[in-house]
Amino acid sequence: MTIAPPGLRDAPAPRVAEATAPPPARRRGRGSARRRAAVAGAVFLLPSLVLFGYFAWWPIGRSVVLAFQRTNLVSPAEWVGTANFDALFADPLLPTAALNTLWFSVLSLAIGLPIPLLCAVLISELRRGGTLARVLSYLPVVVPPVVSVLLWKTFFNPGEGGVVNSLLGLVGIGPLPWLQSPELAMPSLVIVATWSGAGTAILIYLAALSGVPSEQYEAAELDGASVWQRVRFVTLPRLRGVILVLLLLQIIGALQVFTEPYVMTDGGPANATVTILLMIYRYAFLFGNYGVATALSVLLAGVLVVVSAVYLRVTRSWSTS
């Protein structure tokens, strides 16, 4: 009997290796199939990329270029360098608009974040009438924004006949000059914005609450947890990811507020409700200065990008823990 050398005992026999390895023609066939699949995927994806790039990214790039030009959108544009930004920073109304926008955002988060969450928790606890409560909570969203703003403008009538003042008069308050007072005008706009947009947030919270296992609530009840303790230790941790996403969307939306100050107060009284987007509108469509309007839009977009990046960086660990 012939014994193979030790170094060759574990080596596969040449005939076995050749039998198990795929033939070269089959390997070339697999590689060719992958390339054809990749090309086919790229061909199917190309129309979507072209449309998305044309309607989403090309306007952004065009806006950046327009911020350094002087144009009336009819005559050929003139390159002016940073003159649009110089004119913008020389406008004394810009700091006021920035502070007003920031104040609106703070009030929107203070009022608009907890109210939809509270309403969603209360609706989820209803044993009867939950569907009706969902419909009523979402009803303001289907009202056109301009209609709802004009409706609230009537409610905020400064006289005793105003709806809000009539209700406050029942408890001996008022009448108050809601939209005519520099101190009350911005909170009034926040109330309208919260009323208009809370329905969507409530439905999102309710959808997230439906995914919370009922066993956790039952276990908390057996342990003697109160309603607040169940909300704090069961509901809120389960909704953490949704809350963080909605908070970011609310920050972005608040920094771009336009409809409420434009329709209800037109920036008044005494520029107390002038916002950044209202300034952009005035520059573009009242003064015809599209270059400065675009420069302000680019600055606002840059601020939103920075705020979003910082927010996502800070809350990364919170959303995954």
Q: Which amino acid, residue 288?
A: G
Confidence class of residue 128 from pLDDT cuts 50, 70 and 90?
Answer: confident
* Average pLDDT score, the chain: 85
Q: How large is the average pLDDT for residues 58-63?
A: 89
In the predicted structure, residue 319 carries a pLDDT above the cut 50: yes
pLDDT at 22: 58
In the predicted structure, residue 212 carries a pLDDT above the cut 90: no
153 contacts 131 by C-beta, under 8 angstroms: no
Q: How large is the average pLDDT for residues 255-283?
A: 91
- Determine how many CB atoms are found less than 10 A away from the CB of residue 147: 10
Q: Which amino acid, residue 314?
A: V
Q: How large is the average pLDDT for residues 25-48?
A: 82
Q: How large is the average pLDDT for residues 225-252?
A: 85
Selection from 236-240, 297-301, 314-318 with the highest mean pLDDT: 297-301
Tell which wins on pLDDT, 282 or 31. 282
Find how far residue 34's CA is from the centre of its chain: 39
pLDDT at 98: 95
In the predicted structure, residue 86 carries a pLDDT above the cut 80: yes
pLDDT at 4: 47
In the predicted structure, residue 218 carries a pLDDT above the cut 60: yes
Which percentage of the chain shows pLDDT scores above 70? 90
Confidence class of residue 1 from pLDDT cuts 50, 70 and 90?
Answer: very low
pLDDT at 7: 46
Tell which wins on pLDDT, 24 or 291. 291
Q: β-strand 69-70 against 78-79: which pairing, if any? A: antiparallel
pLDDT, one tens digit per residue, over 134-152 is 888 888 888 888 888 888 8
pLDDT at 73: 80
In the predicted structure, residue 307 carries a pLDDT above the cut 80: yes
Say how far apart CA 89 and CA 289 lie, in whole Å. Answer: 15
104 contacts 254 by C-beta, under 8 angstroms: yes
- Domain 96-315, CATH homologous superfamily name and number: MetI-like (1.10.3720.10)
Minimum mean pLDDT among 5-14, 20-29, 57-66, 308-317: which range?
A: 5-14
Q: How large is the average pLDDT for residues 17-42?
A: 73
In the predicted structure, residue 3 carries a pLDDT above the cut 50: no
Stated pTM of the model: 0.80
192 contacts 184 by C-beta, under 8 angstroms: no
| Residue 50 token pair | 């072209």
- Determine how many CB atoms are found less than 10 A away from the CB of residue 88: 20
In the predicted structure, residue 298 carries a pLDDT above the cut 70: yes
- Would you list the DSSP string of 291-305? HHHHHHHHHHHHHHH
CA neighbor of 265 nearest in space, from 173, 153, 187, 125: 153
